[in-house]
Amino acid sequence: MAPRIRGPRILTIEFEPLAHLPPLAWCARARPGSPVRVRHGIGVVTRDEGFVEGAWDGDFGAFDVDRAGTLAGSGARMRGDALVFAAPFHPLERLFVLRDGGGIRVSNSLAFLLTEAGDGLDLAHPGYFFDFVGHVRRGIAAPPTRLRTASGRRVELHSCCNLRLRADATLERVDRPPGDPPTCYADYAALLLGTTRRLAANAADPRRAATYRLVAACSRGYDSTASATIASLAGCREGVTFVRSAAPSGHPLVGVTERIDDDSGADTLRALGMRVAKFDRRALATLPGHPRAEFFISSPAAITDATARLMEDVLRGSVFVSGRHGERYWGPTARCSRIDFAERDDCHLSGQALGEFRLRTGFVHFPLPYVGARNGPAIFRITRSAEMRPWKLGTGYYDRPIARRIAEEAGVPRAWFGQRKLGAGMGSRELNDESERDFQDFLRSEVPAAVLRKLDPRPVTERIGLHRRLTYLRSIYSHLPPVSAALDLSGSDRLHMMWRSTSLYHFHWGYAKTSRRYRSG
């Protein structure tokens, strides 16, 4: 198919849809004085004024993807003499940029970007996982993280911002305003519901060639229950739930044991007027092939993203409403008063690995607790306010009055959710047998022997004790600047189960598997 030339005279765009690509993937290449060439999957919406994969809290016809307060997905819009790229509103996905000899590439996929550039990951650098951990901990106000490539170039990571591209192929980062802070519970609840309703209307707009419907995740925890409640009020009639999760007992400093317990949110979803699809996380290990490979931006401790693979058929064509990281903004402790998404307590990259799976499957991720979360201190003041006392249980860290009030006022019984903390990451921390054999072959054939000799081949399950202590310290104390600085300066990540582990190469192995889908022929 011949490229279709679109756009204003100063800066033009050539769109090239390719059926072999993941439906929602795109990669733009710009060179001085030349059209911007955008290669993309068939699910990307293209117009004279730009393109988008996703939905936002505004009129679809206006196509103001770059000015949306809440863009779930990514895209770009012509503005005068520039093309403005827009990253997702939340920090769980990002735009990737590679500058190359006066030209530039921008993509919503690291694998697509490197494949288009004829580059790849540096197999002598095991630490990509910790590069992403550092990126997440620094937050969106920090200078962009740069990942080294096989050829010695650098890929930039840009989260929650716009990127302004001009005809001379110069690229400028443009920060987005955080929006007005909510002043009380009613103000905040209206923000959550109003945003969700507008985004849902955009996703279902009949002017779209393909529309998206809402699908909500729900467990017995606070965050997904509140998010599913908001989704139901916005018209959601489909829900998904995992029937079991791990229930930890003990204390990280002295020892933790886990048992499997009921975590089904099916009753809540039905009470909210939804039909329910139920899944068992343990079924992930029975899937053939390499089901965890496309979730390579993660760690063995964060398997929740990978278990979404079981929901693939239901999630296709949806706006997936999740409660991801509600604990970071709806909790009662001072660490919830964070700004600019500086997640200094992150050790697992949970929530960060859905990107490639999402682009391939064709759904939009809408982590609802991130709506308005740039105003973390204001949300924390509401949590601690007198008006929220009737919804406090007095149970310490696991007490989230905002989430409880949202659900209870919609009719969800108090006893059905938020009674005790369950660990969502139930399941094997290791690859299945087929993938493990393939991974070991990858280590032997692809990783430099001198690097491999310096790494620990033990399973991460044998190193998890000290890791739990690290996670506890960061969770409880890292919001305090002196403690955070001390943890960084002391090299506390040496306690991390991934520190100098051969499991760091899950990143490279998964990338190698995933990048194949971006090659033609």
Which is nearest to 515 in space by CA: 364, 363, 361, 360? 360
* Among 143, 175, 207, residue at a domain's last position: 175
Which is nearest to 340 in space by CA: 474, 92, 141? 141
Greater confidence, 101 or 279?
279
For helices 222-233 and 185-203, the axis angle rounded to 10 degrees is 60
Whether residue 388 is contained in a domain is answered as yes
Same domain, 148 and 67: yes
Reported in sequence order, the residue ranges of 13-122 that DSSP labels E, i.e. its strands, are: 13-17, 26-30, 36-40, 45-47, 50-56, 71-79, 82-86, 95-100, 103-107
Under the banding of pLDDT at 50, 70 and 90, the label for residue 380 is very high
Q: What is the pLDDT of residues 157-181, one digit of tens each?
A: 999 999 999 999 999 999 999 999 9
Q: Contact, 168 vs 31, CB < 8 A?
A: no
Q: Quick one: pLDDT at residue 472?
A: 87
Same domain, 407 and 262: yes
Dmax of the chain from CA atoms? 66
Whether residue 377 is contained in a domain is answered as yes
Q: Contact, 297 vs 147, CB < 8 A?
A: no
Greater confidence, 101 or 156?
156
- Residue 5 predicted with pLDDT over 50: no
Strand partners, 26: 40
Under the banding of pLDDT at 50, 70 and 90, the label for residue 2 is very low
Phi and psi of 5, rounded to 5°? -90, 125
Same domain, 191 and 170: no
* Among 416, 449, 465, residue at a domain's last position: 416
Average pLDDT, the chain: 92
**Distance (Å, whole) CA 279 – CA 474:** 31
**Which residue do the tokens 């310490």 mark?**
396
pTM of the model: 0.95
Whether residue 9 is contained in a domain is answered as yes
Q: Quick one: pLDDT at residue 493?
A: 94
Q: Quick one: pLDDT at residue 481?
A: 87
Same domain, 260 and 150: no
Which is nearest to 102 in space by CA: 174, 37, 39, 29? 29
Same domain, 106 and 206: no
Kind plus residue range of the DSSP H or E element containing 487: helix 481-489
Determine the average pLDDT of the residues in 120-140. Answer: 97
Whether residue 378 is contained in a domain is answered as yes
- Residue 242 predicted with pLDDT over 50: yes
Under the banding of pLDDT at 50, 70 and 90, the label for residue 276 is very high
**Which residue do the tokens 């990942």 mark?**
147
Whether residue 331 is contained in a domain is answered as yes
**Which residue do the tokens 């009662």 mark?**
332
* Among 370, 392, 416, residue at a domain's last position: 416
202: containing domain: 185-416
Q: How many Cα atoms occupy the beta-carbon half-sphere of 439 within 13 Å?
A: 25
Percentage of the residues of the chain whose pLDDT score is greater than 90: 81
Q: Contact, 238 vs 274, CB < 8 A?
A: yes
- Residue 490 predicted with pLDDT over 50: yes
DSSP secondary structure code for residue 505 in this structure? G
Strand partners, 15: 4, 38
160-171 burial, b at 16+ Cβ within 10 Å, e below that, comes to bbbbbbbbebeb
Q: Quick one: pLDDT at residue 338?
A: 93
Q: What's the sign of the alpha-carbon dihedral 500, 506, 509, 512?
A: negative
Same domain, 190 and 169: no
CA dihedral 69, 72, 78, 80 (to 10 degrees): 10
Whether residue 465 is contained in a domain is answered as no
Strand partners, 145: 157
List the Cα angle 64/52/108 in 5-degree steps: 125
What CATH number is given to the structural domain containing 16?
A: 3.60.20
Same domain, 58 and 90: yes
Same domain, 353 and 396: yes
Same domain, 321 and 391: yes
**Distance (Å, whole) CA 110 – CA 103:** 17
Q: What is the pLDDT of residues 316-359, one digit of tens each?
A: 999 999 999 999 999 999 999 999 999 999 999 999 999 999 99
Under the banding of pLDDT at 50, 70 and 90, the label for residue 255 is low
- The sheet with strand 95-100 has its strands ordered as 4-6, 13-17, 36-40, 26-30, 103-107, 95-100, 154-158, 145-148
Q: Quick one: pLDDT at residue 3?
A: 46
The length of the chain is 521
- Residue 8 predicted with pLDDT over 90: no
Same domain, 347 and 389: yes
For helices 506-514 and 433-446, the axis angle rounded to 10 degrees is 100
Q: Contact, 81 vs 56, CB < 8 A?
A: no
Q: Could you give the number of structural domains in the chain?
A: 2
Same domain, 12 and 156: yes
DSSP H helical ranges for 397-477: 401-409, 433-446, 449-452, 464-477
Q: What is the pLDDT of residues 40-99, one digit of tens each?
A: 999 999 999 999 999 999 999 999 999 999 999 999 999 999 999 999 999 999 999 999
Instruction: Identify residue 259 by its one-letter amino acid code.
Output: R
Whether residue 282 is contained in a domain is answered as yes
Same domain, 350 and 221: yes
Q: Quick one: pLDDT at residue 429?
A: 65
What CATH number is given to the structural domain containing 319?
A: 3.40.50
- Residue 27 predicted with pLDDT over 50: yes
**Distance (Å, whole) CA 319 – CA 430:** 30
**Token output for 281:** 């996380």
Phi and psi of 411, rounded to 5°? 100, 5
Let me know how many helices (H) and strands (E) the chain has, helices first: 15, 21
Q: Quick one: pLDDT at residue 299?
A: 73
**Distance (Å, whole) CA 12 – CA 177:** 28
129-146 burial, b at 16+ Cβ within 10 Å, e below that, comes to bbbbbebbbbbbeeebbe
Under the banding of pLDDT at 50, 70 and 90, the label for residue 124 is very high
Whether residue 445 is contained in a domain is answered as no
